[in-house]
Structure 1
Amino acid sequence: MVQKIASLIDETLMAMNAHLHVQMTNEEKAYLDAHFELIHIKKGEHLMNRGDEVCYLYYLEAGTIRLSFPDKEKREISARFIEPKEFVNFSLSHEEQLSHYNVKALEHCKVWRLPKQDLQQLYDLSINFNKLARLHLEKSINHKIKREEDFHKLDAEERYKKLMANERWLFRSIPLKDIASYIGITPQALSNIRKRI
């Protein structure tokens, strides 16, 4: 049986401990189920490329997604990894927006998408979805701030150890070369760290 998007979002709220603050109404759940569309992305395919117009809000049901961007030497730098039960891009706005990232499936992914115009209507209709969006954005901003601090406070080995302690799920399906770029080192430097510890 195919799970409906509203029940998946309820699971996300439970995982975030946000269910205490956000309780979707039956009408809101019906809107979600009617307007989100399930798509499948094969391993290696891009959901979006950097510079593409952002037309959808995405929710990852299964699989792993990598957000990356090219540095000045055209190397792909891992900016973030998305695990199941997370939204991919809650930062959609009313204006035309281009993707800052290449968004790639690292394994087969089940992704739900909501067209931008339906998202704007949902924001207008649903206080609960606004709360969910705010909670998700707060979580994303906090994650980004902590990563930025780590780059300034910790050396490469300390960043690796912290990643192992706090985001161990990354090591189940993400290539080590992508993890290396995520913590700001070369694959060879990561290999050396792994041998030492």
Structure 2
Amino acid sequence: MMNFNEYMNGVDFSGFKKLFLENGKSIEFKKKDYFVRQNEPCKYVGLVQSGIFRYTRIDNEGDEHIVGYSFTEDFVCDYPSLIKHSDSLTNIQAVTDCSVYVLSMKELNDYWETNMNTQRLGRLVAEEHFIEIYRRLLGFYCETAEQRYISLLKRCPNLPQYITLKEIASFIGVTPETVSNIRRKLRHR
């Protein structure tokens, strides 16, 4: 599967991943365990060795919205919470049993401060995150649900093997019925 999180495509993370494998603490999460809960501080950034995490946000009416995923070989973290030492904006929950190598914010900062190359990498990571979030924002403002669905499946063609139609609908901001109608329409083209 191509990377669900597009920022993973724009940066060489090999040295960074090596840091997690050599210095990170290995933690196992069972299906439905939380990496972090909304409104609690995120204490770690993790490299997912195996499994899938779902990012959700509970709105003021108590409705849950799927806002992201982390798959194997991706990173898992509520990054704003980690860097600002604030409460998490999301719940991050294991969809499957997961194995993760984690680092604390101190360990991450120590790595960024190693030399100019690691500082550049830190800047690139932040830039790529910004670009991805900006593209998602523009997609919600400027694309139809069908266009968002097609774009998502072009990027991750096997995604329906890992997450449900209901979750795909939540991620692109529509009802499951709308996704079913989009699929039906696309099959008849």
Correspondence for 2:96: 107
Contact 1:24 1:128 in 2 (8 A): no
Instruction: Map Cα deviations across residues 143-180 of structure 1 (whole Å, 9 max, x no partner).
Output: 21111111111111121111111232432211221111
- Residue among 137, 142, 161 paired with 1:153: 142
Partner Cα distance (1:34, 1:68) in 2: 30
Correspondence for 1:6: none
Contact 1:66 1:82 in 2 (8 A): yes
Moved >6 Å (runs of 4+):
none
Q: Percent identity?
A: 27
Equivalence map 1:1-197=2 (5 Å): 16=9, 18-19=11-12, 24=15, 32-89=20-77, 90-91=79-80, 92-93=82-83, 95-197=84-186
Instruction: Map Cα deviations across residues 46-91 of structure 1 (whole Å, 9 max, x no partner).
Output: 1110011121111112212111101232121111111222222354
Instruction: Map Cα deviations across residues 107-136 of structure 1 (whole Å, 9 max, x no partner).
Output: 121111012222222223244333333222
Residues 110 and 129 from structure 1, CA distance in 2 versus in 1: closer, same or farther, beyond 3 angstroms?
Answer: farther
How does the TM-score come out when normalised to structure 1?
A: 0.77
Structure 2: runs of 5 or more not aligned: 1-7
Partner Cα distance (1:176, 1:63) in 2: 19
Residues 132 and 88 from structure 1, CA distance in 2 versus in 1: closer, same or farther, beyond 3 angstroms?
Answer: farther
3-state SS of paired residue (2:54): strand
Partner Cα distance (1:184, 1:70) in 2: 14
The letter for the 2-side match of 1:58 is G
Residues 18 and 188 from structure 1, CA distance in 2 versus in 1: closer, same or farther, beyond 3 angstroms?
Answer: closer
Correspondence for 1:10: none
Residues 189 and 17 from structure 1, CA distance in 2 versus in 1: closer, same or farther, beyond 3 angstroms?
Answer: closer
The letter for the 1-side match of 2:164 is P
Contact 2:34 2:94 in 1 (8 A): yes
Partner Cα distance (2:24, 2:64) in 1: 30
Structure 1: runs of 5 or more not aligned: 1-14
Partner Cα distance (1:99, 1:139) in 2: 21
How does the TM-score come out when normalised to structure 2?
A: 0.80
Alpha-carbon RMSD across the aligned residues, in angstroms, is 2.5
Residues 194 and 175 from structure 1, CA distance in 2 versus in 1: closer, same or farther, beyond 3 angstroms?
Answer: same
Residues 119 and 181 from structure 1, CA distance in 2 versus in 1: closer, same or farther, beyond 3 angstroms?
Answer: same
